[in-house]
Structure 1
Amino acid sequence: MSKFNIKNIELLNSQEKNDILSELNLLISNYSTEERISWALRNLPCTHVMSSSFGIQSVVLLHLIITQKPDIPVILIDTGYLFPQTYNFIDFLMKKFNLNLQIFRSKISPAWQEARYGQLWTKGIKGINFYNSINKVQPMNFALKNLSVQTWFAGLRRDQSKSRKLLSFLSIQKRVFKVLPILDWSNDKIAEYLKINNLDIHPLSKEGYSSIGDIHTTSKHISGMLEEETRFFGLKRECGLHENEI
């Protein structure tokens, strides 16, 4: 199958675009994860990148992709409020795998944000959304533009939250192709891959965390909680990076 051009697809009407995406999703749904990545690298346009939060299970997709494309740019959105263990974990993996890490941040420093707006994450859903816009969405939009991204790999999985149940392996978001190779993986499959490949897991996994984001909006997983309830005080799951897919 020939390479796809995002510009050509954008010229189609909504129904035509959806028909193509549906056909491609049906195709790659029958592939193994490694085959999905290989297909995307061959058929979807460069520049290819992946994003990583370097959270609890992030090393799985990282390992899967760099096995096939070792020099792929890895986008990290640094809010300035990650856990110290996360920063140390990033340093460890960057050295271990010689990652092509590309770090992007808000133009407004955390201290300056607090001086202007106070602690936005304490101000309900509106404050959280504004915080995410400044610290995550805007830096990611800049990263995609700065790196001339046309294909974006990410590690979302359907069983992580209700908001991810209906996601597709391939979509168009922010005018780039978005590929979710491990979308159908379970926690058990994640654990098996980690064990088979002897991969290091985020140190906070041993302290009761099932999902990791910023230090002030992440809580430990308590028995009976859904994983998504450990983020943003249970008010929402998504930080904005993976919303508004079309």
Structure 2
Amino acid sequence: MSINIDIDQANKDLQGKSPAEIVAWALEKAKNPIITTNFRPYESAILHLVAKQRPDIKVLWVDSGYNTDATYKFANKLIEDLNLNVVTYIPQQTRAHRDVTLGGIPGVDDAKHEVFTEQVKLEPFRRALSELKPDVWFNAIRKDQTEFRQGLDVLSQSKDGVLKVAPLFYKNDQDLDAYLEENNLPNEFDYFDPTKVEEHRECGLHTQL
């Protein structure tokens, strides 16, 4: 399922628009939108921003099984407080089986890290997108997060033609701190992504899907 638009022109049209205006624009075009989350720091901003306009939107969470206790508690609180319609996907292999097969979490320079990332993140995401069949995918990526993302914009397309919308793309931590305070939203910094390890490293999700 895809939306036929001129992405370059649409990005120009959305320049200077607020995150809420970007969300409203995308929802007008969407028939089956989703929002993805990993409950990392500042995720309450994007979840609140989108769910406020579309309370029943499917919230896709690919739970790798490696989140911290704090992240799981944070997720539980947000799901309850915002009444989120969460759809959870998990890897096909258990963590215990993977620990034996791969010997725990491989380092980023280990050849097995690519296999690990495929198992715990990419395959579940592809499966979710195939089954949920969204036409619009809201995400929380921001320009200042990685070198790769500096070459993107508010709108982009997945390899399957899904319109990817990043309403917070040009916002920084200070902007989001203000949004969280204004809307009395929680935050949580005890977070670890085993497929990224390093904060400014891509995990492959937005480069391969």
TM-score (structure 2 length as normaliser):
0.92
Matched, 1:213 2:175: no
Q: Structure 1's 69 and 75: CA in aligned 2 closer, same or farther, altered over 3 A?
A: same
Aligned 8 A contact 1:129 1:239 in 2 = no
- In the TM superposition, what is the alpha-carbon distance from 1:188 to its structure 2 partner? 1.1
- What residue is the counterpart of 2:202 in the other structure? 238
Cα contact 1:75–1:102 (8 A) shared by 2: yes
Establish whether residue 94 from structure 1 lines up as the match of residue 79 from structure 2: yes
Q: Does 1:35 align with 2:14?
A: no
Distance 1:179 1:203 in 2: 24
Structure 1 letter corresponding to 2:2? I
2:9 pairs, out of 9, 18, 23, with 23
The separation in 1 between residues aligned to 2:192 and 2:121, in whole angstroms, is 11
Equivalent position to 2:166, from 180, 188, 212: 180
Partner of 1:84: 69
CA RMSD in angstroms comes to 2.0
Q: How does 1:44-55 map to 2 (within 5 A)?
A: 45-55=30-40
Counterpart in the other structure of 1:160: 145
What secondary structure sits across from 2:205 in the alignment? coil
Once residues 7 and 166 of structure 2 are traced to their aligned partners in structure 1, the CA distance between those partners, rounded to angstroms, is 13
**SS in structure 2 at match of 1:160:** coil
Q: How many pairs align?
A: 208
Bigger relative contact order (CA 8 A; separation at least 6): 2
Following TM superposition, by how much is the alpha carbon of 1:120 offset from its aligned partner in structure 2, in angstroms?
Answer: 4.1
Q: Distance in 1 between matches of 2:108 and 2:35?
A: 31
| Alignment match, 1:228 | none
* CA distance in structure 2 between the aligned counterparts of 1:68 and 1:123, rounded to whole angstroms: 39
Distance 2:156 2:111 in 1: 27
**Superposition TM-score, scaled by structure 1 size:** 0.79
Structure 2: give runs of 5+ residues left out of the alignment.
none
Alpha-carbon distance, 1:199 to partner: 0.8
Using the TM superposition, give the Cα deviation of residue 125 of structure 1 relative to its aligned residue in structure 2, in angstroms. 4.5
Percent of aligned positions with the same letter in both sequences?
28
Distance 1:203 1:243, change over 3 A: closer
User: Whose helix proportion is higher, 1 or 2?
Assistant: 1
- Which consecutive segments of 4 or more residues in structure 1 shift more than 3 A? none
Structure 2: which amino acid aligns with 1:27?
D
C-alpha contact (below 8 Å) 2:146/2:202 kept by paired residues: no
5+ residue gaps, structure 1: 10-16, 205-211, 218-230
Displacement, 1:74?
A: 0.6
Instruction: Give the SS at the match of 2:168.
Output: coil
